[in-house]
C-alpha cells in the first residue's frame, strides 16, 4: 500500500528550512543496515536516487536502494524522490524519444509501487543536439508524459515532474529564455556546489524560475563510515515556497492544454 505522504513533494518538511542527502548510487546497492548507519550519522529524512541511466536503461540499483531505505528506516524516511538522466544517443534499450523514456521510468515505478516526484536532469555534458528547439521538444515530451500519467492510469498513480539543472546547462541546452518547461515543472532543483545552504546565493533567474525549490550545494562526497563506492549530494530545501500539489498539477495541466491547443 502506498503511503499518503509520498504524494507530497519532498520539499515539505516540519521546519521551514532543511538540509538533506541525495545518493547517486548507480551500480552500488546500499543495504538496510547501511541506510540505518547513514541515517544515524547524517540524520536525513528525504532521499533522492537515480533510476534512469543516460546510457539508456532503467537503473535497477536505484529502485533497490529506495526499497532498502524504506525497509531500513521505516517512518524515519518521510519522503523519497527519483531522478532520471535522459539518453540522447546509442541508447541500450533503443528508446530514443522522451515519451518512451519517461514511460519506461513510470512503468517501473508503478511496478515497484513508488510514486512521487520525478526530476529530469539537464546537464550540458550530455550529448544534446546543437538544435535547441529539438532539445526543447524532447524535454517537454518527458515532462508532459510524467504530468499526465494520473489520467492514463485512472487515478491510481500520481507523479510530479521537476528539473535538475543550473543556468549554464539550461542556457546551453535549450536557451536561458525558454520558459515553457517551468510551467510543467515548477520545481527547480538547482545545482551549484558553492557550499551555501540557501536558495539565493549566486542564483540568477532563468527558464521561468525566479527561485529554486531545492539547492544542491555540495556533491560527489564519498567519504563516510557506512557504505563504500557511493557519491553523496547534499541539498537544501525550503517549505516556505511549497504549493499544494493539487494546485500545481491543475495549473500545469491547464497550461499544457492551452499550449497544445494554440499549436494546433
**32/34 Cα distance (integer angstroms):** 5
What are phi and psi for residue 153, nearest 5 degrees? -105, 15
- Predicted pLDDT at 241: 45
- Predicted pLDDT at 49: 86
- Predicted pLDDT at 12: 23
**43/128 Cα distance (integer angstroms):** 37
- Predicted pLDDT at 253: 46
- Predicted pLDDT at 233: 80
Q: Taking the domain 4-263, which CATH number applies?
A: 3.20.20.80
- Predicted pLDDT at 151: 55
- Predicted pLDDT at 156: 61
Placement of cell 502506498 in the chain: 2
- Predicted pLDDT at 84: 95
Residues 6+ apart with CB under 8 A from 184: 140, 143, 144, 147, 161, 252, 255, 256
Splitting the chain (264 residues) into consecutive groups of 10 residues, what average pLDDT does each group show?
27 39 70 88 79 95 89 75 94 97 94 88 97 98 88 66 97 97 94 92 96 88 76 73 39 45 43
- Predicted pLDDT at 9: 23
pLDDT in tens, 105-122: 999 998 988 878 899 999
**157/36 Cα distance (integer angstroms):** 29
- Predicted pLDDT at 24: 59
Amino acid at each position: 500500500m502506498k503511503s499518503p505522504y509520498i504524494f507530497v513533494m519532498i520539499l515539505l518538511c516540519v521546519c521551514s528550512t532543511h538540509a538533506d542527502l541525495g545518493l547517486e548510487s548507480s551500480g552500488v546497492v546500499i543495504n538496510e543496515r547501511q541506510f540505518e548507519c547513514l541515517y544515524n550519522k547524517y540524520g536525513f529524512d528525504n532521499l533522492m536516487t537515480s533510476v534512469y541511466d543516460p546510457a539508456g536503461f532503467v537503473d535497477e540499483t536505484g529502485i533497490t536502494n529506495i526499497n532498502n531505505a524504506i525497509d531500513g528506516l521505516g517512518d524515519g524516511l518521510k519522503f523519497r524522490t527519483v531522478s532520471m538522466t535522459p539518453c540522447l544517443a546509442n541508447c541500450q534499450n533503443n528508446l530514443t524519444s522522451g515519451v518512451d523514456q519517461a514511460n519506461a521510468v513510470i512503468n517501473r515505478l508503478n511496478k515497484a509501487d513508488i510514486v512521487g516526484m520525478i526530476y529530469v536532469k539537464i546537464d550540458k555534458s550530455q550529448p544534446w543536439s546543437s538544435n535547441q528547439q529539438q532539445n526543447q521538444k524532447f524535454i517537454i515530451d518527458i515532462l508532459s508524459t510524467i504530468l499526465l500519467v494520473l489520467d492514463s492510469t485512472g487515478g491510481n498513480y500520481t507523479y510530479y515532474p521537476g528539473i535538475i539543472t543550473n543556468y549554464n546547462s539550461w542556457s546551453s541546452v535549450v536557451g536561458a529564455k525558454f520558459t515553457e518547461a517551468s510551467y510543467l515543472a515548477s520545481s527547480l532543483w538547482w545545482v551549484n556546489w558553492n557550499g551555501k545552504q540557501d536558495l539565493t546565493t549566486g542564483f540568477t533567474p532563468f527558464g521561468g524560475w525566479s527561485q529554486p525549490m531545492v539547492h544542491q550545494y555540495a556533491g560527489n562526497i564519498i567519504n563516510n563510515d557506512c557504505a563504500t563506492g557511493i557519491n553523496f549530494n547534499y541539498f537544501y530545501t525550503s517549505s516556505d515556497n511549497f504549493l499544494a500539489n493539487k494546485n500545481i498539477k491543475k495549473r500545469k495541466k491547464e497550461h499544457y492544454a492551452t499550449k497544445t491547443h494554440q499549436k494546433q
